[in-house]
Every structure is written in structure tokens, then in C-alpha cells.
Amino acid sequence: MDATTVRGVLVRVVDAAKAVVPGADLVSVTLRTASGLHTPAETDPLATRLDEIQYRIDDGPCVDATRKAGLGLTFCSDLASSTRFGAFGPAAAELGVHSVLAVGLFPDGDGPRMGALNIYSRQVAGLDELDRDLTLVLAAHASTALAATMAATSSELEGAQLRQALQSRDVIGQAKGILMERRGISADEAFDVLRTASQSLNVKLAQVAQTLVDHRAEV
């Protein structure tokens, strides 16, 4: 698969996610185009079927992840018993899929996002915190690689969204490092501090991170 094309980039991303995310049974990428959402790459046709159910009812984790502010992370550990996504949860469970994790591409930009990386598990509670962390990293990589590929035909994407994604990722990393050093906590714990502050203040995680970096002497 040609890694210089959009589809080539996305195939490499879903294959990597299937290989490195422990709880991943099925992986797909949702992509937003002028005609709506579609699935250009997946590791199993069932993943596309699950995505398409969500597109049809305009509800579900992969749809939600393209709309959310902040990280654009949507998670459900038991689709059969959840009423969060309407008809999607029971439909997914009937197809043998019980957990889902979706992360928006360009996770720190303003919505709507250009798509989402979707991880499905056949097990109840089949995806844990490690899976979420790895998926966030993969989504950030996918966003950057996809932007670089699409920049050949979209100077606006190259000029605005790519810079924003890279800058946000860098400042979040700096903020995590400050918390880890000053408070003696792990990377996951530092990220949780930032995420909790973002949710409590209703401010984008990247903005919380930037504030921390700007006031590092006061932490």
C-alpha cells in the first residue's frame, strides 16, 4: 500500500493500532468528506459495518468523537447495557462487539474534526487505560501523517490544522513533564490531572496545558 496516499496512510494506521493496542479486535478510521462520514480503512469488514450503523443513525462513538472538543475521546465499556448511543449499543452487542474507544483526528482542534480512529473489542470492559493512551498517541500520529499527505492538495489544512495539532501535542507534553517533575507522579497521572482540570473548567486541554507551561514557576 502506497504510504504517500490518504488511503495508504490510513491502512498503515489501522494495522498499527490492531498490532499495538492490546484490547483491539477490530480497528477502523472514520473520515469526514464533503459528502459526509465514511470508512476508508479497516482491519475487518465488521468494523465498517459498525461504523456505518453509526453514520446511518447519526449517533455513536465514532460520530461523537468527530464532534467533541478537547481530546475528542469517546469510550464505552459495555455497549449492551449502555443507553448513551441509542440504538447503536444493542446493535453492536448483537454483532458480538461489546466495548469501543474512538478518538477524534486532530484531537485538540475545533470541531467538526476530520475523522476518528475507532477501536472495537469483543469483550465487555475489553479496553483499558493503556489502550486509551496508545490510541491517543496513534490518533495524534494519524492526524499529523494524514495532514502531511493531504497538504499536497490543501494548503489551508497544512497552514492551520497541522500547526495547531503539532503545537497542542507539544504543549501537552511539556505540561505533563512539569507535573511529573514537580509532583513526582507518572505520565498517566499527569495526563489525568490535565484532563480533570480541562473538564472542570470547561476549557480545552491544550489551553490548560499552555497555562501551566506559562506559569511553571508557580506550580
Q: What is the DSSP string of 94-110?
A: HTT--EEEEEESSTTSP
**Contact residues for 190 (Cβ-Cβ < 8 A; gap 6+):** 175, 176, 177, 179, 180, 183
Mean pLDDT of 197-208: 73
Distance CA 46, CA 58 (A): 18
Write down the pLDDT at residue 176: 82
Q: Quote the pLDDT of residue 108.
A: 47
| CB atoms inside a 10 Å sphere around CB 41 | 24
pLDDT more than 90, % of the chain? 35
Crossing angle of the two packed helices 6-20 and 129-150, in degrees rounded to 10: 170
The SS3 of residue 25 is: coil
Q: Indicate if the pLDDT at residue 207 is higher than 50.
A: yes
Question: Where in the chain do CATH 1.10.10.10 domains reside?
Answer: 155-218
Segment 29-72, tens digit of pLDDT: 999 887 889 999 999 999 999 999 999 999 999 999 998 666 67
Q: Which residues contact 183 (CB under 8 A, 6 or more apart)?
A: 190, 193
Residue 161 has pLDDT above 90, yes or no: no
C-alpha cell, 105: 483526528
CATH for 6-150, among 3.30.450.40, 3.40.50.1820, 3.30.465.10, 3.40.50.300?
3.30.450.40
**pLDDT confidence of residue 201:** 63
For residue 44, give the DSSP letter: S
pLDDT in tens, 84-113: 898 999 999 999 999 999 998 875 455 578
The CATH architecture annotation of domain 155-218 reads Orthogonal Bundle (1.10)
Q: For the residues 158-180, what does the mean pLDDT come to?
A: 66
Rounded Cα distance between 72 and 166, Å, is 16
**Statement: residue 1 has pLDDT above 80:** no
Q: Range(s) for CATH 3.30.450.40 in the chain?
A: 6-150
Which pLDDT value is given to residue 216? Answer: 65
